[in-house]
Amino acid sequence: MIKVEQVVKHYYLGKRKVPALRGVSLEIGDSQFVAIQGPSGSGKSTLLHLIGCLDLPTKGDVKILGKSTNTLSDYQQSILRNKFLGFIFQSFNLIPVLSAYENIEYPLLLQGISRSQRKQRVNTLLKEVGLEEHSKHYPDYLSGGQRQRVAIARALITQPRLILADEPTANLDSVTGTEILDLMKKISLENGTSFLFSTHDPKIAPYADCIHTLKDGLLIK
């Protein structure tokens, strides 16, 4: 499904070149739960951004369903982001003026899905992530774990094949972090959705089908 081939990514800070990835290759198949670990600055977020079509490699190729992201138009990239991929962030990134229900519904509004279908899909997911009682609550009135559950439901609502999660448990206490991991694993097994997440969290190891370790922009494992 995803093939990362010899990917190099440099950023520029003024004229100074910052190497973020220095030749990384990996593959992700269907229904896989894949972790990327490594110290701060090792390139984890950069790799997720490239696979998420949020940025392009300096060299090398990211192939999604056999197509190189380098060759896709901006429009084709946005279609992939909206239909094929889901995103979960460390800081949840919910829209504060929308309720839990409305946050989850939002990606479907962008896709022009009918009101009755939206209602059915949002309610199913609210149940799946255990937030039926909180559908009308705004993010400010939810706990960290509840916010991340909303974010997971929002990422899943478009039925993506791959969810990219950048340190999804970093802002959660350890018990809540474990609950969120259990939930993601359950969804992955039930729906066949693949997850790729970056993490510093040692609890993740027993959940992952595969753990990659980045150091200074290179995979060491």
Residue 169 binding Mg ion, by CB under 5 A: no
Largest Cα–Cα distance of the chain, in whole Å?
Answer: 53
Residue 18 binding ligand ATP, by CB under 6 A: yes
C-alpha distance across the termini of the chain, in Å: 21
Give 183-189's long-range contacts (Cβ < 8 A, gap of 24+): 183/129, 183/130, 183/149, 183/152, 184/33, 184/152, 185/33, 187/128, 187/152, 187/156, 188/31, 188/32, 188/33, 189/31
Percentages (nearest 5) of helix, strand, coil residues in the chain: 40, 30, 35
- Burial (CB < 10 A; 0-12, 13-18, 19+), residue 109, is exposed
Minimum distance, C-beta of residue 143 to Mg ion, in the bound complex (Å): 23
DSSP string, 54-99: SS--SEEEEEETTEEGGGS-HHHHHHIIIIIEEEEETT----TTS-
Among 20, 108, 122, 172, binds ligand ATP (CB under 6 A): 20
Q: Closest CB to ligand ATP among 146 and 148?
A: 148
Minimum distance, C-beta of residue 62 to ligand ATP, in the bound complex (Å): 15
Residue 11 binding ligand ATP, by CB under 6 A: yes
Q: Closest CB to ligand ATP among 20 and 122?
A: 20
- Name residues contacting ligand ATP, limited to 28-47 (CB under 6 A): 38, 40-46
Q: Closest CB to ligand ATP among 125 and 180?
A: 180
Minimum distance, C-beta of residue 10 to ligand ATP, in the bound complex (Å): 9
Determine the 3-state secondary structure of 201 from DSSP. Answer: coil
Residue 45 binding Mg ion, by CB under 5 A: yes
Contact region with ligand ATP (CB under 6 A), list: 13-21, 125-133, 156-164, 184-192: 13-21
Indicate the pairing of strand 33-37 with strand 210-215.
Answer: parallel
Q: Closest CB to ligand ATP among 51 and 126?
A: 51
Residue 79 site contact among Mg ion, ligand ATP, none (CB < 5 to 8 Å, cut-off depends on kind): none
Give residues in contact with ligand ATP (CB under 6 A).
11, 13, 18, 20, 38, 40-46
Give residues in contact with Mg ion (CB under 5 A).
44-45
